[in-house]
Structure 1
Amino acid sequence: MDWDANRIAVGTRFKINKLGAVRCPNLADKIGIVVGLSRRTTGITVLFDGDRRPTCLHMGYISSSSE
């Protein structure tokens, strides 16, 4: 994913992309919101709809829900 073009930021709605669905099949149909970005690693903290606690994922596993 080209992060310069898509600009994932805190508050962005997202869905799990094809790579994320292959690597984490239990998350394949989930949608949520970005709650934190790491400046040093490729980690991204997300809160899935209906969950109480955030989850940390690799940035390459999500895409903007507007795509």
Structure 2
Amino acid sequence: MDREIDRIAVGTRFKISELGAVRCPNLANKIGIVVGLSRQNTGITVLLDGDARPTCLYRGYISSTS
């Protein structure tokens, strides 16, 4: 899983991972795009499809769709 997280870059399409679905059930079937990465912590800024504002999530909560 760590290798998959390392491949995430700005512009990457993603879906919520199994861990993310367990911890945040309201996001379980969401997909979106990465809009920002933090090098200082484990946060990742994403824009979920249909949302007007970005959300910050833990990197382990997302997985690449490709």
With normalisation by structure 2, the TM-score equals 0.93
1:20-40 CA-to-partner distances (Å, cap 9, x unmatched) read: 000000000000000000000
Structure 1 runs, 4 residues or longer, greater than 4 Å off: none
**Structure 1 unaligned runs (5+)?**
none
- Pair 6,39 (structure 1): closer, same or farther in 2 beyond 3 Å: closer
Query: RMSD value over aligned CA atoms?
Result: 1.5
Contact 2:36 2:45 in 1 (8 A): yes
Secondary structure of 1:47's aligned partner: strand
Contact 2:30 2:49 in 1 (8 A): yes
Work out whether 1:53 is the aligned partner of 2:53. Answer: yes
Identity %: 79
Aligned length, in residue pairs: 66
1:4-60 CA-to-partner distances (Å, cap 9, x unmatched) read: 675100000000010000000000000000000000000000000010000000000
